[in-house]
Amino acid sequence: MKRSSRLSLALHALVHLHKQPDEAMTSTTLATCLMTNPVVVRRALGELRDAGIVGSTKGHDGGWRLLRPAKDISLHAVYSAMGESLLIRTESDPGDIACGIVRTVNTVMGEFIADAEALLAARLERVSIADIANQATPNPLHPHHGVHHHG
């Protein structure tokens, strides 16, 4: 697995929920689609639940569903809900603290990153889960039928 698979994992799950609006999907079902563990799904979606993006219900016929239309869920909302960023973290540069250069590099880099962060946030705000779903070109071998039986 690669770094920050959490992000694509969450997006993947959200698109699934969007495509199946009628009934809640369980963590186990999603985990099968995402080829991971139900607990990992809960952890990721739990953060989105705290941000009011998805809702979860326990017990019979419980599971996850979107709390608002996919077109109203921006990628930026997802990312900030998960405390993630597209940019690397470059805080806390190693180096002798008595050396002024360290702090200068950190300052310059920090400003650059903050600037870039704002730039990307604005762009991510303009992309929604619906945008991703609409671009979904079904796999010619396994077209979607609403139910996802993993291969």
- Residues contributing to the site for DNA (CB under 7 A): 1-6, 26-28, 36-40, 42-43, 45-46, 49, 56-64, 94
For position 28 contacting a copy of itself by CB under 8 A, the verdict is no
Choose from DNA, a copy of itself, none: what does 64 bind? Cβ within 5-8 Å by kind: DNA
DSSP string, 21-67: -SS-B-HHHHHHHHTS-HHHHHHHHHHHHHTTSEEEE-STT-EEEES
Choose from DNA, a copy of itself, none: what does 37 bind? Cβ within 5-8 Å by kind: DNA
CA dist 128 and 105 (Å) reads 35
For position 147 contacting a copy of itself by CB under 8 A, the verdict is no
Compute CA 113 distance to the chain's CA centroid, rounded to the nearest angstrom.
21
25 vs 70, beta carbon nearer DNA: 25
Choose from DNA, a copy of itself, none: what does 99 bind? Cβ within 5-8 Å by kind: a copy of itself
Alpha-carbon dihedral 68, 82, 18, 150, rounded to 10 degrees: -160
Give 130's contacts (C-beta < 8 A, 6+ positions apart): 18, 69, 70, 71, 73
The residues of the shown chain that bind a copy of itself, judged by CB under 8 A, are 1-5, 7-9, 11-12, 15-16, 19, 32-36, 75, 85-109, 112-113, 115-116, 119-120, 123-124, 127, 131-133, 135-139, 141-144, 148, 150-151
